Amino acid sequence: MAKINKNYSKLKPSYLFREIANRTKAFLEKNPEALVLRLGIGDTTEPLAPSIIKGLKTEVEKLANKKTYTGYGDEHGDIRLRSALKDWYKKRGISLDVSEIFISDGAKPDTSNISSIFAPDTVIAVQNPVYPVYVDSNIISGRDNFVFMPCIANKNFIPDLPEKKADLIFLCSPNNPTGVVMNKKQLKKFVDYAIKNKSIIVFDNAYAAFIQDDDLPRSIYEINGAEKCAIEIGSFSKSAGFTGVRLGWTTIPEEIEIEDGGMGALNKLWSRRKATMFNGPSNIAQEGGIAALSPEGLRESAKIIAYYMENAKIIKEGLEKIGLEVFGGVHAPYIWVKTPKGISSWEFFDKVLQETQVVGTPGEGFGKYGEGYFRLSAFGNRENIQRAVKSIQKNLKI
Amino acid sequence: MAKINKNYSKLKPSYLFREIANRTKAFLEKNPEALVLRLGIGDTTEPLAPSIIKGLKTEVEKLANKKTYTGYGDEHGDIRLRSALKDWYKKRGISLDVSEIFISDGAKPDTSNISSIFAPDTVIAVQNPVYPVYVDSNIISGRDNFVFMPCIANKNFIPDLPEKKADLIFLCSPNNPTGVVMNKKQLKKFVDYAIKNKSIIVFDNAYAAFIQDDDLPRSIYEINGAEKCAIEIGSFSKSAGFTGVRLGWTTIPEEIEIEDGGMGALNKLWSRRKATMFNGPSNIAQEGGIAALSPEGLRESAKIIAYYMENAKIIKEGLEKIGLEVFGGVHAPYIWVKTPKGISSWEFFDKVLQETQVVGTPGEGFGKYGEGYFRLSAFGNRENIQRAVKSIQKNLKI
């Protein structure tokens, strides 16, 4: 007799962004004439850079031709893309071998699966509020021994070290949802902690491309010692507009030592997992990724990022103007708004939707320390962003 | 202190196809002038059908344009592709709703992850020999309570019902590696067993497009009652040449009832898993999939399949001619060869490689009942296939 995995019942009944979509849909059914302005999901809206389009087309052409057609690729990813990433790290003074870089179909699946190489009783430290996937994916696999690291206003949303000894520490910087980025000194504290306690850091730098200050770390490997204790998960989604195209990567340095596996063990286990359960991301997406890392691709994508960051500025300043308290939005495409008069984040979500037709994300969806906050995303066409800000300024009753 | 997931140590040190690649590489280093003919991996070699190329290009163009660009898609897959699959099933008299169809980035990841919705102590029945992913992925997640169903020559490689009561039954038909397909009566036995024992069948029909006889089931839902007990995993890899493009699907009928979850529970859990841990496959691949299911796409791909099946015939007849005992290759792109004089399958692998420069797959890599057999794949350019068969005929010492 088959039985279900009971761990799923420990999850909230609906994934955060599904719930938002459902509430938005319900609103639209009641108000069919409303023009809803979606600043909820961190979803890119600008077309791909021309050089990336060229890369994608190149691969499609290859697949059309008997001489250039290829089938299964390397489960660890196209060696040319891994080399391009190696070079990309090198420019930042970081030395990684191609064997330490694994290409994925996006940061979300890798973030979800990385714990699979760790023991079932792993104690996992997670920022709160944070991207819900770290917690939910671990609950599903039965790794639900969590220590939460509150990111709160009077500590500038920077987490303290875990209160209880943690084996695996998920860090997201620039953080989703607060939009706050950790500096080198703050990250160094975590690296030192990890080395001292033989813990492993999983560093999600999906928003690194939005950092405006060269002194702020875009990769955890900019911190001394991180190569001994940190896995990094990167993404083309936000930096190159690949949210729908699907492409990311994970780096696991050989130098990482783990007590019961030795040096290189984590790299080997992840390699085995990829070979067994994955067949590499789409070859078309990978050719797009190679183009995205070319000097031209990086230059073109930088312009798109600047466009989103101008959106962030418009939102931030527009909301501050009407007296809302606003964080983030400087080195990240997320604006973290304190709900007025201490109303709950879901109440504020409904209020903003009803009064201004703007869809945001209730902070509580990212964890209990997100309660009392509301996330707005700077992804969007300029016109929509301006319209949303004006609608909030004009129609929100605070 | 972080610790590793010890389950990985229960796996063989290397994934089968990696081991083959390594041995081939070693041979080529010793014999740099050798022209190796690769009939090992079941990897497509013919270019994509013109209508599919057109579909892929359409999506790339959409991504280049501000008005048509889209970011994140539905985690369950593009509704147009799910509708196309619904219609595809309908033509076979099978009624499925779009909510019962989930699009994936290929059958391999879904096959690997499907057990995640079942209890940790699930008893899993698996054919032997079979595609190694069913077993390996379950070992990694700690679901390693297996019952093997031998597929042996004196039973025409058709499995008997599991000897011990099984909760989850993986069936692959047409089978990889034996190339043998189960008929309706044989499948019906399993469906009846599943209903009686409240078990669930996971039916992998990745090779269904190669079936030449309309009386043979291409989907498990052609069997009465299967909609109450069977999950089906499909793929565009072999039917449309998407091995590198990455696209597949999984169907979970709402009608499936599970004792401790009720009706619809499995569909809901899988839906939750997808939303939490996946962001849908590449939008470009999905547009290709829609084109592949169009009347034109199906017609064009059928020609490519016929080409591979002609290859299969050439291999089968060529090997029979020199007295080798050969199975499969009629409704599947795999030819299952009995090793002569009872030598082991890895010995035969090395012998064939050394003497004929042909790379096959040792049967033992698919499980212990594959020992004494050798798999050849019919994917390949005609010229290479002919050259391989001639080289075996001329050079193999048997």
The reply to whether B234 touches chain A by the CB within 8 Å rule is no
Among residues of chain A, what percentage have pLDDT more than 70? 100
Whether residue A241 has pLDDT greater than 90: yes
Res. A318 pLDDT band, cuts 50 70 90 = very high
Closest CA to A45 of A329, A356, A317, A304: A304
How far B237 CA sits from the closest chain A CA (Å)?
9
Whether residue A101 has pLDDT greater than 80: yes
Res. A18 pLDDT band, cuts 50 70 90 = confident
**ipTM reported for the complex, 2 dp:** 0.96
The reply to whether A76 touches chain B by the CB within 8 Å rule is no
The reply to whether A311 touches chain B by the CB within 8 Å rule is no
Q: In three state form, how does the secondary structure of chain B look?
A: CCCECHHHHHCCCCCHHHHHHHHHHHHHHHCCCCCCEECCCCCCCCCCCHHHHHHHHHHHHHHHCCCCCCCCCCCCCCHHHHHHHHHHHHCCCCCCCHHHEEEECCHHHHHHHHHHHECCCCEEEEEECCCCHHHHHHHHCCCCEEEEEECCHHHCCCCCCCCCCCCEEEEECCCCCCCCCCCHHHHHHHHHHHHHHCCEEEEECCCHHHCCCCCCCCCHHHCCCHHHCEEEEEECHHHHCCCCCCCEEEECCCCCEECCCEECHHHHHHHHHHHHHCCCCCHHHHHHHHHHCCHHHHHHHHHHHHHHHHHHHHHHHHHHHCCCCEEECCCCCEEEEECHHHCCHHHHHHHHHHHHCEECEEHHHHCHHHCCEEEEECCCCHHHHHHHHHHHHHHCCC
Residues A4, B115 contacting (CB under 8 angstroms):
no
CB–CB contact A140 B198 (8 Å): no
DSSP at A374: E
Q: What is the pLDDT of residue A15?
A: 75
The Cα–Cα gap between B11 and B142 comes to 11
Cβ-based contacts under 8 A for chains A and B: 271
The reply to whether A120 touches chain B by the CB within 8 Å rule is yes
Rounded to an integer, the average pLDDT of A234-252 is: 98
**Contacts A276 to B, Cβ<8 Å:** 11, 15, 112, 132-133, 136-137, 140
Residues B209-264: tens digit of each pLDDT? 999 999 999 999 999 999 999 999 999 999 999 999 999 999 999 999 999 999 99
Report the alpha-carbon angle A131-A137-A138, nearest 5. 110
Find the closest chain B residue to A288 by CA distance: B60
Residues A74, A81 contacting (CB under 8 angstroms):
no
The Cα–Cα gap between B371 and B361 comes to 11
Residues A147-197: tens digit of each pLDDT? 999 999 999 999 999 999 999 999 999 999 999 999 999 999 999 999 999
- Give the number of other Cβ atoms within 10 Å of residue B204's Cβ: 28
Whether residue A14 has pLDDT greater than 80: no
Q: In three state form, how does the secondary structure of A121-182 look?
A: CCEEEEEECCCCHHHHHHHHCCCCEEEEEECCHHHCCCCCCCCCCCCEEEEECCCCCCCCCC
Domains and CATH numbers, chain A: 7-47+300-395 (3.90.1150.10), 50-296 (3.40.640.10)
The Cα–Cα gap between A57 and A63 comes to 10
Of A71, A241, A282, which is closest to B284 when you measure between CB atoms? A282
The Cα–Cα gap between A22 and A41 comes to 13
DSSP at A214: T
Question: Which A positions 243-302 lie with beta carbon below 8 A of chain B?
Answer: 243-246, 258-261, 265-266, 269, 272-273, 275-285
Closest CA to B107 of B213, B199, B231, B8: B231
Q: What is the pLDDT of residue B117?
A: 98
Torsion angle, alpha carbons of B12, B18, B21, B22, to 10: -60
The Cα–Cα gap between B58 and B52 comes to 10
Of B65, B119, B279, which is closest to A5 when you measure between CB atoms? B119
Q: What is the pLDDT along chain B (398 residues), one digit of tens a residue?
A: 999 999 999 998 777 888 898 999 999 999 999 989 999 888 999 999 999 999 999 999 999 999 999 999 999 999 999 999 999 999 999 999 999 999 999 999 999 999 999 999 999 999 999 999 999 999 999 999 999 999 999 999 999 999 999 999 999 999 999 999 999 999 999 999 999 999 999 999 999 999 999 999 999 999 999 999 999 999 999 999 999 999 999 999 999 999 999 999 999 999 999 999 999 999 999 999 999 999 999 999 999 999 999 999 999 999 999 999 999 999 999 999 999 999 999 999 999 999 999 999 999 999 999 999 999 999 999 999 999 999 999 999 98
The reply to whether A12 touches chain B by the CB within 8 Å rule is no
Residues B203, A7 contacting (CB under 8 angstroms):
no
The residues that bridge with A123 in the sheet, in sequence order, are A145
Q: What is the pLDDT of residue B7?
A: 96
The H or E element containing residue A202 is strand A200-204
CB–CB contact B279 A245 (8 Å): no
How far A116 CA sits from the closest chain B CA (Å)?
7
Please state the φ and ψ torsions of residue A127, each to the nearest 5 degrees: -60, 155
Of B4, B137, B259, which is closest to A265 when you measure between CB atoms? B4
How far A255 CA sits from the closest chain B CA (Å)?
15
Of B15, B50, B199, which is closest to A275 when you measure between CB atoms? B15
CB–CB contact B66 A50 (8 Å): no
**Matching residue, tokens 């059309």:** A64
Strands A257-258 and A248-251, sheet pairing: unpaired
Of B2, B105, B275, which is closest to A122 when you measure between CB atoms? B2
Q: What is the pLDDT of residue B14?
A: 73
Residues 6+ apart with CB under 8 A from B189: B161
> SS3 for A242?
coil
Q: What is the value of pTM for the model shown?
A: 0.96
Q: What is the pLDDT of residue A17?
A: 84
Q: How far apart are the first and last CA of chain A?
A: 56
The Cα–Cα gap between B337 and B363 comes to 9
Find the closest chain A residue to B61 by CA distance: A53
The residues that bridge with A338 in the sheet, in sequence order, are A373
Residues B309, B212 contacting (CB under 8 angstroms):
yes
Residues A372, A339 contacting (CB under 8 angstroms):
yes
Q: What is the pLDDT of residue A212?
A: 96
Q: What is the pLDDT of residue A12?
A: 82
Find the closest chain A residue to B167 by CA distance: A2
A127, amino acid identity: Q
DSSP at A8: G
Helix axes B283-292, B295-321, angle to 10 degrees: 80
Find the closest chain B residue to A48 by CA distance: B64
The reply to whether A306 touches chain B by the CB within 8 Å rule is no
The reply to whether A198 touches chain B by the CB within 8 Å rule is yes
Q: What is the pLDDT of residue B248?
A: 98
Q: What is the pLDDT of residue A41?
A: 86
**Contacts B278 to A, Cβ<8 Å:** 108-109, 112
Of B70, B133, B137, which is closest to A244 when you measure between CB atoms? B70
Lowest mean pLDDT among A20-34, A213-227, B111-125: A20-34
Residues A259-293: tens digit of each pLDDT? 999 999 999 999 999 999 999 999 999 999 999 99
